[in-house]
Copies of this chain bind each other. A is one copy, B any other.
């Protein structure tokens, strides 16, 4: 069995004051279902990734709410894991297809963040971290600033290297009409932006965003005789049945670490990223060196540097230089965050992990427009919750 990305749907990301959470979820879902050429009746289950709607929209039970709006009567779930909600929802949706329980499922991430006071959103987002560190006053910028400081001290990572992540992702977003900030910014602009928590300034941080993203995932049994998921772990493709547009998820792995940063053995790595990546690659039966494109979790610029190292694209400590020298820029050897990433495409929390899948899918389908990467057939997504307590990695190929 293999999991096909049968359809995708994505709203504009940004400050969308004229649209409710339900409006956004409906728009992305309908687009994904239409793109899959299925109808609502074909959808067996709905997985909704969302972190904050109880606090921001007084609405929980989002699985049923969204299934209801689409007239879907199958199963419906809401999955939450802070900023990794999208990745987790995808992982659970995949399990149910592999189990043989559902054939076509809709995975939808949505978040509505700009209609409540900024202080309320900041407070609500702190629910992603540990109670102890929250009470000690450690905000998320502070947690990532600690990691950045440690990385700078240990490896000589520079302020300019951090800023280069932001500059690159804005450059990529300038080719993405769905991005919240579809324009370039200069190195100087990042470096002179207001300091939030040293060494991270305003343009080192991803923004508060409204938006929704959706994919339809479908099972494709090669033959009834070989429908068992396991073994083999490698979901080999059958070329004769594939078109060049077909994209499959061939690896999906989740790992956790301590919720407290203080309890980790190292401040300069996200152990959950390493573990999830290794599992996902093994599951897909591919080598990291064959990955041609990646969407990674750049909630702060330091996070993308850590991701490069922990995923294994470069050695530990060399992430800053790896990015600064242009390897991960469009035209480089391994374009990273061609969507603009969380930084410039935007970060509607629950939608982020699913948007990553959509970006890689579109790249593999050669429909990424001006930001299309050449000769790409194998990609990776990396979604993180909290300060690294949850990491989710998916492998996509065609």
Q: In the assembly, how many copies of this chain are there?
A: 2
Q: Are A74 and B123 CB-contacts (below 8 A) given A101-B95, A128-B60?
A: no
Is residue A286 contacting chain B, with contact meaning CB distance below 8 A?
Answer: no
Q: How far is the CB of A393 from chain B (nearest CB, A)?
A: 11
A100 near B68: Cβ-Cβ < 8 Å: no
Whether the Cβ atoms of A259 and B65 lie closer than 8 Å is: yes
Instruction: Write the A10-51 contact mask toward B (1 if CB under 8 angstroms, else 0).
Output: 000000000000100000000000000000000001100001
Q: State the Cβ distance, A182 to closest chain B Cβ, in Å.
A: 30
Q: Is the CB of B73 within 8 A of A256?
A: yes
Interface 0/1 of A258-285, CB less than 8 Å to B? 1110010000000010010000000000
Across the interface, which residues of B come within 8 angstroms of A126, CB to CB? Answer: 58
Cβ of A143 within 8 Å of any chain B Cβ, yes or no, is no
Q: What sequence of 0s and 1s flags, for each residue 91-133 of chain A, a beta carbon within 8 Å of any chain B beta carbon?
A: 1101110111100000000000000000000011011111100
Do the beta carbons of B80 and A80 come within 8 Å of each other? yes
Contact with B along A58-81 (1 / 0, CB 8 A): 111111110110001111111111
Chain B residue nearest in CB terms to A392:
B75
The contact string, 1 if C-beta is below 8 Å from chain B, for chain A 120-154, is 00011011111100100000000000000000000
Check B81–A389 contact: CB distance below 8 A: no
Interface of chain A, helix or strand or loop or mixed? mixed
Chain B residues whose CB sits within 8 angstroms of the CB of A45 once the complex forms: 254
Contact of A68 among B46, B253, B258 (CB under 8 A): B258
Tell me if A256 and B67 are in contact (CB < 8 A): yes
From residue A380, how far is it (CB to closest CB) to chain B in Å?
18
A260-B68, A386-B64 are contacts. A58–B127 as well, Cβ < 8 Å? yes
Residues of B within 8 A of A95 (CB): 92, 95-96, 98-99, 101
Q: What chain B residues lie within 8 Å of A195 (beta carbons)?
A: none
- Residues of B close to A245: CB separation below 8 A: none
Is A331 engaged at the interface, CB distance under 8 Å to the other chain? no
Q: Are A61 and B390 in contact (CB under 8 A)?
A: yes
Looking at the complex, which one of B96, B100, B128 makes contact with A230 (CB distance below 8 Å)?
Answer: B100
Cα(A76)–Cα(B81), bound, Å: 8
The 9 A-B pairs at the shortest CB distance, nearest first, are namely A98-B99, A75-B254, A64-B389, A60-B127, A100-B230, A228-B228, A61-B82, A95-B96, A68-B259
| Interface CB pairs A-B, < 8 A, 21 | A51-B60, A54-B55, A58-B123, A58-B131, A61-B80, A61-B81, A61-B389, A64-B259, A64-B385, A64-B386, A68-B259, A75-B91, A75-B254, A77-B92, A92-B92, A98-B99, A98-B100, A99-B229, A227-B228, A227-B230, A228-B228
